[in-house]
Amino acid sequence: MTKIEIKNLNFSYPGREILQDLSFEAGTGSITALIGVNGSGKTTLLLLLLGLIQPDSGEIIIRSNDGESFKPEQSAGKIGYLPQIERFPSDFSVKDYILLGRLPFIGFFSSPTVRDLNVADLLISKLQLDELSSCRLGEISGGELQRVRIARALAQNPDLILLDEPTTHLDISHKKGIYQLLSELRDEGRTIFYSTHDPMDALKHSDNCIMLNDKLPAITGKTQNIIDAKRLSAYFHVETEILEVNKQKVILYK
């Protein structure tokens, strides 16, 4: 069970400021959506949360319910991460690739235990990959591969889950399934951050939201309070209107 505290975070690439004085807290059992246009800092923030890059100033603290606190670079396998782009071994089977997520528990020169295999089988079932488990990665579609990659990220049973555009390449049915799975993981007490270009996804599936634009201050808070037409128009550079249909908000772009 994990709580995230982001305090006065600043980060720049050479000649370009990306994150400015960002502060935010995500409690245990929550889903936070990172939304913004390309280049707004979504992936950068995920990399900072993962500890792969360091902020110019400010800090990120990960706190567990037992009172332990540590920085992202000290997480040692406690974070599950889905990158937006990665190379993958096309000759690996689906199940073997998912089992790579169990490496923190298997160790070098060891074989997967019954528990490791059971974890992989459970994720294969949850992500509807049963008919593909023995297929090679090079033989499956982009949407199928995306579900396999998500399964591998979840295989280590992390308390903190970071997903960079997890529904890329997915059809409507499987996209719905991924968000249902994230909801279940939240209800188990996991802390989840995911990035998306689609504010509607954030409205429907997240508790909290961080709206990013490298030219404007980040806006953080409860998703239903953060996402409105004026902010979306400013941060996404397109005129926006929000309507309510059957008691649900619908975003229209003009």
Q: What is the DSSP letter of 51?
A: T
Return d(Cα 203, Cα 225) in angstroms, integer. 10
pLDDT at residue 181, rounded to an integer: 92
H or E stretch covering 182 = helix 172-187
Question: Looking up tokens 């399934």, which residue turns up?
Answer: 177
pLDDT at residue 70, rounded to an integer: 86
- Per-block average pLDDT, block size 10, for the chain (254 residues)? 91 93 95 95 96 95 84 82 88 93 78 91 93 93 92 92 92 91 93 94 96 94 95 94 88 88
Helix 142-154 to helix 114-126 angle, to the nearest 10 degrees?
A: 140
pLDDT at residue 119, rounded to an integer: 93
- Domain boundaries along the sequence of the chain: 1-78+162-224, 86-157
pLDDT at residue 155, rounded to an integer: 93
pLDDT at residue 76, rounded to an integer: 67
Topology given in CATH for the domain delimited by 1-78+162-224 = Rossmann fold (3.40.50)
> Is beta strand 30-35 parallel, antiparallel or unpaired with respect to 191-196?
parallel
pLDDT at residue 1, rounded to an integer: 66
Output the DSSP codes for 109-134.
Answer: T----HHHHHHHHHHHHHTT-GGGTT
Phi, psi angle pair for 57, to nearest 5°? -160, 170
